[in-house]
Structure 1
Amino acid sequence: MSIPDAIVSEIETNGEDRALAIRDQLRDAIMDRRLAPATKLAESEVGALFDASRTIARSALQMLAFDGLVRIERNRGAFVANPSPEEARQVFASRRLIEGGIATEACARIIPADVEVLREHLARERRFMNERGPHARRSEIKASGEFHLKLAEIGGNAILFRFMEELVARSSLVIALYGRSGVSRCGHDEHEELIEALAGRDAERAHGLILRHIDHIEADLDLAVTGSSSLKAALTR
């Protein structure tokens, strides 16, 4: 007896939802820098950790590969992307090209409610700065990246927002691999200056501030390579 099309569709949808959920958790672990560049992501281990089939695990890894966060090698498997120094430079060059335009567009579109959202987010970043422990530090790093995504959201261009999601995630990898200090250099004072420029609709100042801000983040890179971590440890912390 054949399986009704509606049931097949539900199975496929549930499988896709499971793959997306796994993708999101792995993506968070990569962006939070709990998974270091070059960490091996075996389909069998991913499936076992999430109680999912290898097919679903493979689908999740392929999604991450499409986002540029995972590298899949023939006969070797999947690994957290390990960007070269040149790729690191290209990430920040791309951010300069894109975020300058985003800041300009955000100035044209921003409303008082957006300014309030940005200020509330900045307050969250400061709270994480004042807390101690690895969880607080990871939260601070993630919040710093999210600030840039909020700017892209205010800019109102869905395509650029999608690009920024990928660039922020890749930036996190680059900082994990090459950052001198091992912490986010996404300065909170610079975020505050940028909010004031946006609130005043000063597009020229906002454009200059975002480029200077990206320069400061990149200036913390020293091209020193770090080792990889355990997949299981990263996901169970």
Structure 2
Amino acid sequence: MAPRRGAAVDLRIYSAVVNAVMSHRLPPGTRLGEAEFCELYDVSRTTVRKALQRLAHDHIVVLRPNRGAVVASPSPAEARDVFAARRAIEREIVPLVIRHVTPASLQRIRTALEAEEQARHSGDRAAWIRLGGEFHLLLAELAGNAVLQRFMVELVSRSSLIIAVYENPGVPMCGNHEHDDLLALIEKRDSAGATALIEHHLEEIEARLNLGAPERKLSLAEALSGC
């Protein structure tokens, strides 16, 4: 096999798993067998392992010694950390999008919103969830900062895992009005308003999750009392 083809397939496997996670087609805890990937993509185990290692580096899968890979199952504490990180990063992304905005970039945002709305109207929840995440990744791309964009790829994928684990059953597919409102603020070049909205939007997503009450960390004295 030519090295170039192996590298290309490695990326295809990585992208396929990320997309399946974002669409909730690969739920947390799903076992990812190397042999199945080898058969599906006609590649060696070496190529598959490279893809799985990259997925593990991005906290999308967990590699278990002698037991293979599984899709990660984030804890409530990890979920809160991920959303806190997203708020911090997306507060930086939105002003950069406004600073670099062009008619072409605005049209890309409108096209993304149209795809989201189409998925919602058709009842395709998996596509709707995936496209919602891709909307945030598009903003990261339009911000023009490759480092922030790289962070967002990991955080959006981990957010999809978190939603798959902790989403309250029966939550309806509501309209993405906040995405529409964000576009309006970007068009007005309202950096302060757009930044406040993205933070509120992420807080609302987290609030809809069934994460329970945050665990209080004990002090050493409390932990050792009575011992």
TM-score range, shorter chain: 0.7 to 0.9
Q: Does residue 47 of structure 2 align to residue 56 of structure 1? A: yes
Tell me the secondary structure at the aligned position of residue 202 of structure 2: helix
Where does residue 154 of structure 2 map in the other structure?
166
Does the residue aligned with 1:71 lie in a helix, a strand or coil? strand
**Alignment map for 1:52-91 (pairs within 5 Å):** 52-91=43-82
User: For residue 60 of structure 1, what is the amino acid of its counterpart?
Assistant: A
Which amino acid in the other structure matches residue 80 of structure 1?
Answer: V
What's the offset of the Cα at 1:139?
1.3
> % of aligned pairs identical?
45
Question: Judging changes above 3 Å, is the alpha-carbon distance between structure 1 residues 70 and 155 closer, same or farther for their aligned structure 2 residues?
Answer: same
**How many residues are paired up?**
212
Q: Would the alpha carbon gap of residues 187 and 171 (structure 1) be closer, same or farther in structure 2, given more than 3 Å must change?
A: farther
Letter of the 2:89 partner, please give it.
I
* Alpha-carbon distance between aligned partners in 2 of 1:171 and 1:208, rounded to the nearest angstrom: 20
For residue 117 of structure 2, what is the aligned residue in structure 1? 126
Match of 2:176 in 1: 188
Q: Does 1:100 align with 2:53?
A: no
AA partner of residue 63 (structure 1): R
Q: Deviations over 1:81-132 (max 9, x none)?
A: 1111111001000001000111111122212222222112111111111113
> Structure 1 counterpart of 2:157, which letter?
A
1:53 is displaced (CA, Å) by: 2.1
1:175 matched to 2:163? The reply is yes
Aligned to 1:31: 22
- Structure 1 counterpart of 2:108, which letter? V
Indicate which of 134, 138, 141 corresponds to 2:129: 141
The one-letter amino acid paired with 1:11 is A
One-letter identity of the residue aligned with 1:128: A
Amino acid at match of 1:119: R
Paired residue secondary structure (2:94): helix
Structure 1 pair 184/176, CA: closer, same or farther in 2 (3 Å)? farther
CA RMSD of aligned residues (A): 1.9
SS in 2 for 1:222: coil
Task: Tell me how far 1:193 sits from its aligned partner.
Answer: 0.6
Q: Which runs of 5+ in 2 are unaligned?
A: 213-227
| Gapped regions of structure 1 (runs ≥ 5) | 1-9, 225-237
d(CA) in 2 for partners of 1:97 and 1:62?
27
The Cα of 1:221 is off from its aligned counterpart by 0.8
